[in-house]
Amino acid sequence: MELKRVVVTGIGAVTPLGNTAAETWQNMLNGVSGASPITHFDASKFKTQFACEVKDFKPEQFIDRKEVRKMDPYCQYALASAIMAVEDSAMELEKVDKNRIGVVFGVGIGGMKTYEEEVTSYAKTCDTIGPKFNPFFVPKMIADICAGHISIKYGFHGPNFITSSACASSTNALADAFNLIRLGKADVIVSGGAEAAITAAGVGGFTAMHALSTRNDEPQKASRPFSASRDGFVMAEGGAVLILEELEHAKARGAKIYAEMAGAGMSADAHHITASHPEGLGAKLVMQNALEDAGLQPADIDYINVHGTSTPVGDISECKAIISLFGQHAYKLNISSTKSMTGHLLGAAGAIEAMACVMSVNEDIVPPTINHEDGDEDPEIDYKLNFTFGQPQKRTIRAALSNTFGFGGHNACVIFKKYAE
């Protein structure tokens, strides 16, 4: 059978850089950091006291006030992002076949805040009045519920599920959505990711692993991928959504097309529960798989939005993988880590970074990697690579590739290219 073509016809986002996709993208291009001292809980006794929080988000603008109370923040970000993306797609909902519209979302953790609150409350009462739990505890907490809420909001009866592969979750979701449409199982899929783990347990857990930066005196400069002084990632939260649509379906309704989704790849490091393979074997394999799926050569890629978390091991191994796969072309393409600005959205990272790739292809501009300073070079990193340090760079972007790698050795990669008949 001939595979169908898939295009991006809508975007929506709630991120540390802005509460819309447009604001997020503009702040990426401006090199704005979303990092600041933590306000969601008292972090004064924690080793890490800052994060990239969503700011001034009012869920009631999107969701009925009574329903807001039944949703964990991660779910609120997911639903708000989806509402904005559906609106951006300009779909006439009364005219489309809702049985062929699905929701495939990526969530790494889910309702961390809800879980923490309920268990803390139980600990206070278990020895006195006994167990007392909110009846919405489970449906607020579970990671799949955001996909359910989105489908309920619109009456979308197509494929509906979430993927969970730690930091690769929403890239896996986009890959699954892409394949379902290619195979003719759906006309449209609302796909992306959401996460809200900036809680005492979330920050405390990652801090205990020595995964987070502790640069408390300079939060905005803490996420510094590919710099020798990098000391861990900066935790972030939010959501992002792409409307993926079968090409003929999009053309029939006169949809605007941002870019075409060209391919997706997956692989496993099979190496360690949290550390990436030191030589980047899984990273190389996943990019190779994505290129093969897209029918593209390494020389066809003009921009790589790297996983680039600002961790000591990960940044080195990803660079090795790029050089190994792309050869001399590695020095001709642009590379950037938008996590230097957004922080690491965990399960939602792939969605916001896919959005950055789509906008890069659409507007022919590469967002920067911020916070690198002269003299802060790591001898293990090849600086002949163009990391797009400091400022965005205008260039023709025929195709852009986005990498995400998750704890457990999960690797996922997606490619977007310019749409042409």
169 Cβ contact list (under 8 Å, min separation 6): 106, 107, 108, 162, 163, 193, 346, 347, 348, 350, 406
Orientation of helix 21-29 relative to helix 349-363, angle to 10°: 70
> From CA 404, how far away is CA 346, in angstroms rounded?
10
> Which residue among 149, 249, 344, 372 is the active-site one?
344
Contact between residue 347 and residue 164 where contact means Cβ atoms under 8 Å apart? yes
Beta bridge partners of 190: 103, 243
Instruction: Please indicate whether residue 344 is annotated as part of the active site.
Output: yes
**Contact partners, residue 42, CB within 8 Å, separation at least 6:** none
Q: For this structure, is 329 an active site residue?
A: no
Catalytic: 410? no
Pick the closest to residue 103 from 69, 164, 144 (CA basis).
Answer: 144
Distance CA 230, CA 248 (A): 46
Burial profile 197-227: b = 16 or more Cβ within 10 angstroms, e = fewer:
bbbbbbbbebbeeebbbebeeebbbbbbbbb
Torsion of CA 408, 389, 330, 304, to 10 degrees: 50
Which residues lie closer than 8 Å to 58 by C-beta, 6 or more apart?
none
In eight-state DSSP terms, residue 167 is B
- Say if residues 241 and 84 touch (Cβ distance below 8 Å): yes
Catalytic-role residue among 307, 319, 357, 372: 307
d(CA 150, CA 146): 6
Active-site residue (options: 146, 167, 357, 413): 167
Residue 182 CA to residue 171 CA, distance in Å, equals 16
Say how many CA atoms lie within 13 Å of 335 toward its Cβ: 23
How far is CA 221 from its chain centroid?
21
Residues taking part in catalysis = 167, 307, 344
